[in-house]
A and B are shown apart, each in its own frame.
Chain A
Amino acid sequence: MSTPAGLTTQADITEDLSLECGVVIVGSGAGGATVAADLAEAGADVVVLEEGGYHPTESFRPETGRALRTLYRDGGGGATIGRPSVLFAEGRCVGGSTVVNGGMSWRTPAGVLDRWAKQDGVLEISEAEMAPYFARFEARNSVGTQDPETIGRNSLLLKAGADAEGWAILPNRRNQLHCAGTSNCSNGCPTGAKRSMAVTSVPRALAFGARIIAGCRVDRVTRSGHSVTGVTGHVVGPGGVRGPRVVVRARAVIVAAGSIQTPALLLRSGLGSASGQLGRNLSLHPNANVVAFFDSDVTGWQGVHQAFQIREFLAEGIMMSAQNLTPSMLAGVIPGYGRELGEMMADYNRVVTAGPLIEDTGTGRVRNVPGLGTQVFYRVTDKDAARVVRGVELTAEALFAAGARRVVLPFNGAPDVRDPADLRRLLTRPVPRRSVELYSIHLMGTARMSEDPRRGVVDSYGAFHGVRGLFVCDASVFPGPIGINPMETVIALAMRNARRLIEQRRRYALLPGLCSRADKSQCWLADKSQCQMATGVPGTYSNPESGLPVGAWFRCE
């Protein structure tokens, strides 16, 4: 397997490594890769450390077990401590969770931004102020609705059900360049049509001179007094064996490891915030699966993952969609076993899997527990449990309206239901909270933004209160849940924070260091002093796009 220039894998590092750079970024997902690309393009000397491996598009295949083992943290088997426990999955590979998510790309709802501004005192966060960043991401990553020929029958059935009920259902917006509809999102897109960070911002960052080390776990953020000095980590060898030590000295550290690993890293680095909020306020948008059986073939694996979203109940904090599960994933969520499981799975091609996503009101906490490592504590509130039950009921109703003959509910011990009356009868009795089977892929809020250091961990631009040169750039900065897919919000905030850093690059001493632009012919500067290597030479040069002379500009030789 060849790797792109600038990307080093764990196999390439055989002895301890020491690097210097302007900015070191921990994590290469939605936040880390975006900020890496923007800073590298602006001329900063950027090193990205990614714990997971590098997996190119051509390596992605419809093999769930293999994907879980190579693209996800801990085989995708995260679980919160609490009753019920919520299963969660985090991507761990170059490109992070964007490699394995569904690619849903929605702007942060205006009401959420308004709440963050008014309640949490976040600056420059209005819909109008964020719009340019959303637009830039959408243009760069080809955000749009699906080509009609790629929409599978499972999505069309959910839409038929929603239409029959008279509910608002929207075509999903995804970061896709003419998605083929392979339904392989969670195993990595085999065509590269999903514009994950691995095929967009990562190559972009590399093209502008960033260096990326894959298979490197960061152990600690280092500092001197109240300023960061870099990070220390180690190469992750085969089977997770600890490999050579990696030390990176940097003038700025950007932690973008996700809402579980970011607080875990900062806490084990002794960087508890004055607010006491680091690791707290975890939201995770609990999801549940409703499995419906139809009389005719659906073949849900032939068509795009989540073509539509039911938005009718968004004001209640409930959103619904259909997503195909591979056979192994479906078998894992069906409550039956043995012969009964075999009989259900024999109808695999007649199944539609759909479910609600809940904007949660409960919060959790990430802690490093001695002897047990990083653990996630989360309590599902009665209100959220009631929302899940309501979301499950609505989903089942839509699926019955579309013609389902049998529905399996995500309540441990609950019987299957055969029609809407059966469903209503069942739900007249309270559903025990701990019997609800939940999972999550949206983890948010453990290093929340606020200008007030007593309330938030970072300021409005991700700068860690009280530690100079330390930034957080992922979903952990969200002050609360957003009720929809969070990727676009993470990326827009990362762009906004990168802009802020570029504006203040001198303040954070990001300018010194060697220029590492891969293509120096692209480097045009208004002033020679802007050149980090002082090699800019004057001349009359033409703008390569317009062909017009640009006079006093300097360029590198």
Chain B
Amino acid sequence: MTAGGSAPHLPARARRAARRFAEIVCPPEMAAHHRTDRVLGELELMLAAVAPEARKALTFTLVVLDQAARLRPRSRGRRFSQLDDEAAEAYVRSVLASRSVPAEFVRRLKSLVVMCYYELPVVQREIGYHPAPYIAAVSKRRLESYGPEIRAGEAAVTAPEVMRAGEVAGAAGVVSAGDVAGARDEGARDEGAGDEGAGDEGAREGGSRR
């Protein structure tokens, strides 16, 4: 799956609508600081990751959003991507306030677009979110405070447990070598029974369902 780098581009019509939509739903700093292309790039990456049906639906939503604006008298026949700021904002406001099914898709699109804006590192820094130094500091503190326990815990991950050497009477919930040996005997009885159904019954009577 696409992690970064290139992603399929939106069709031109949809991209035009996405650009105008982003200019309306993202804070004005996006356009003022020439961040729109980066937001659209992030949006294309996200659309490449969603399910194909959802991608089609969201792309179609952009096209419909663009064209449906022409039906509003105030638009005077213009598409959404051609509306001035005031008319475009009024149009988006009315769509987002609606409780229709298409409006739900537009709301989802709005969430996705603003997510993409706030995913830009420069925007995160502007609002005071800079987690990398914090993560480095607390990671260091963790190792300094609990290093031996952490190393022991990590080493225990691959320590034998289910069939621990020499263990026959394991604690409840732990499968011991004895259990496995017993299971073999039980299985042999099943096979000896020949009939599948009889084998099943044999296993039930073997006492494993307490």
Chain A residues engaging chain B, CB cutoff 8 angstroms: 38, 41-43, 53, 61-66, 68-70, 74-75, 77-79, 85, 123-124, 131-133, 135-136, 140, 142, 147, 149-150, 177-184, 190-193, 199-200, 203-204, 207-208, 236, 238-240, 299, 301-302, 326-334, 337-339, 341-342, 345-346, 348-349, 372-373, 412-413, 432, 434-435, 460, 468, 495-496, 498-500, 502-507, 511, 522-527, 529-530, 543-546, 548, 550, 553
Residues of A within 8 A of B46 (CB): 65, 68-69, 75
Q: Which of B12-20, B67-75, B76-84, B104-112 contacts A (4 or more CB under 8 A)?
A: B104-112
- Given A65-B119, A301-B131, A530-B180, A77 contacting B51 (CB threshold 8 A): yes
CB of B94 within 8 Å of the partner chain? no
- Given A38-B162, A504-B187, A337 contacting B92 (CB threshold 8 A): yes
Residues of B within 8 A of A239 (CB): 1-2, 8, 48
- Do residues B183 and A503 form an inter-chain contact, with CB atoms below 8 A? yes
* Cα-based distance from A240 to B8 in the complex (angstroms): 12
- Do residues A193 and B142 form an inter-chain contact, with CB atoms below 8 A? yes
B187 in complex: contacting residue of A77, A131, A147, A505, CB < 8 Å: A505
Q: Which residue of B lies closest to A69 (CB)?
A: B49
Residues of A within 8 A of B119 (CB): 63-65, 327-328
* Cα-based distance from A174 to B122 in the complex (angstroms): 33
- Do residues B135 and A341 form an inter-chain contact, with CB atoms below 8 A? no
Residues of A within 8 A of B25 (CB): 337-338, 341
A74-B50, A337-B110 given. 18 additional CB < 8 A pairs? A123-B209, A191-B142, A199-B154, A327-B123, A332-B111, A339-B27, A341-B26, A349-B129, A495-B173, A503-B186, A504-B187, A507-B203, A511-B184, A524-B163, A526-B178, A527-B184, A544-B165, A553-B166
Q: How far is the CB of A294 from chain B (nearest CB, A)?
A: 14
* Cα-based distance from A538 to B96 in the complex (angstroms): 76
Can you report 24 A-B residue pairs in the complex whose CB atoms are below 8 A from each other?
A77-B112, A78-B51, A177-B149, A178-B149, A182-B135, A239-B2, A326-B129, A327-B124, A328-B119, A338-B26, A373-B53, A434-B99, A460-B209, A499-B173, A504-B203, A504-B208, A505-B187, A506-B188, A507-B199, A511-B184, A522-B165, A524-B163, A543-B165, A548-B166
* Cα-based distance from A192 to B142 in the complex (angstroms): 11
Q: How far is the CB of A440 from chain B (nearest CB, A)?
A: 15
- Do residues B183 and A338 form an inter-chain contact, with CB atoms below 8 A? no
Q: Which residue of A lies closest to B165 (CB)?
A: A524
* Cα-based distance from A85 to B134 in the complex (angstroms): 36
Q: Which residue of B lies closest to A508 (CB)?
A: B187
* Cα-based distance from A313 to B145 in the complex (angstroms): 37
**Number of residues of chain B lying within 8 A (CB) of chain A:** 93
Residues of A within 8 A of B183 (CB): 502-506
B114 in complex: contacting residue of A337, A373, A503, CB < 8 Å: A337
Residues of B within 8 A of A330 (CB): 118
- Do residues A238 and B2 form an inter-chain contact, with CB atoms below 8 A? yes
Q: Which residue of A lies closest to B168 (CB)?
A: A526
- Do residues B173 and A124 form an inter-chain contact, with CB atoms below 8 A? no
- Given A240-B1, A337-B110, A526-B168, A507 contacting B187 (CB threshold 8 A): yes
- Do residues A524 and B116 form an inter-chain contact, with CB atoms below 8 A? no
B153 in complex: contacting residue of A78, A177, A207, A342, CB < 8 Å: A177
Residues of B within 8 A of A203 (CB): 157-158
- Do residues B116 and A328 form an inter-chain contact, with CB atoms below 8 A? yes
B166 in complex: contacting residue of A183, A329, A550, CB < 8 Å: A550
B24 in complex: contacting residue of A53, A338, A346, A525, CB < 8 Å: A338
CB of B115 within 8 Å of the partner chain? yes
Residues of B within 8 A of A240 (CB): 1
- Do residues A524 and B177 form an inter-chain contact, with CB atoms below 8 A? yes
Q: Which residue of B lies closest to A326 (CB)?
A: B129
What are the 6 closest A-B residue pairs judged by CB atoms, nearest first?
A: A506-B187, A342-B27, A132-B173, A75-B49, A207-B158, A132-B172
Q: How far is the CB of A314 from chain B (nearest CB, A)?
A: 26
A182 in complex: contacting residue of B96, B114, B139, CB < 8 Å: B139
Q: How far is the CB of A537 from chain B (nearest CB, A)?
A: 15
* Cα-based distance from A181 to B141 in the complex (angstroms): 11
Q: Which residue of B lies closest to A350 (CB)?
A: B128
Q: Which residue of B lies closest to A182 (CB)?
A: B135
CB of B40 within 8 Å of the partner chain? no
CB of B117 within 8 Å of the partner chain? yes
B173 in complex: contacting residue of A70, A133, A543, CB < 8 Å: A133
- Do residues B158 and A180 form an inter-chain contact, with CB atoms below 8 A? no
Q: How far is the CB of B101 from chain A (nearest CB, A)?
A: 8
- Do residues B165 and A412 form an inter-chain contact, with CB atoms below 8 A? no
A332 in complex: contacting residue of B45, B112, B208, CB < 8 Å: B112
Q: How far is the CB of B198 from chain A (nearest CB, A)?
A: 12
Residues of A within 8 A of B97 (CB): 413
* Cα-based distance from A326 to B50 in the complex (angstroms): 20
A68 in complex: contacting residue of B8, B28, B49, B182, CB < 8 Å: B49
* Cα-based distance from A23 to B134 in the complex (angstroms): 44
Residues of A within 8 A of B162 (CB): 38, 41-42, 502
* Cα-based distance from A176 to B28 in the complex (angstroms): 42
- Given A204-B157, A337-B92, A505-B187, A38 contacting B175 (CB threshold 8 A): yes
- Do residues B196 and A331 form an inter-chain contact, with CB atoms below 8 A? no
Interfacial residues of chain B within 29-52, with CB under 8 A of chain A in the complex: 29, 42, 45-46, 48-52
- Given A42-B175, A338-B28, A526-B181, A180 contacting B142 (CB threshold 8 A): yes
Q: How far is the CB of B122 from chain A (nearest CB, A)?
A: 12
Residues of B within 8 A of A345 (CB): 27, 118, 127
- Do residues A337 and B24 form an inter-chain contact, with CB atoms below 8 A? yes
- Do residues B52 and A373 form an inter-chain contact, with CB atoms below 8 A? yes
A349 in complex: contacting residue of B52, B127, B181, B191, CB < 8 Å: B127
- Given A332-B111, A332-B112, A337-B96, A66 contacting B4 (CB threshold 8 A): yes
Interfacial residues of chain B within 155-176, with CB under 8 A of chain A in the complex: 156-158, 160-166, 168, 171-175
* Cα-based distance from A548 to B165 in the complex (angstroms): 11
Residues of B within 8 A of A544 (CB): 165
- Given A65-B119, A239-B48, A142 contacting B153 (CB threshold 8 A): yes
* Cα-based distance from A553 to B112 in the complex (angstroms): 62
Q: How far is the CB of A339 from chain B (nearest CB, A)?
A: 6
A132 in complex: contacting residue of B161, B174, B203, CB < 8 Å: B174
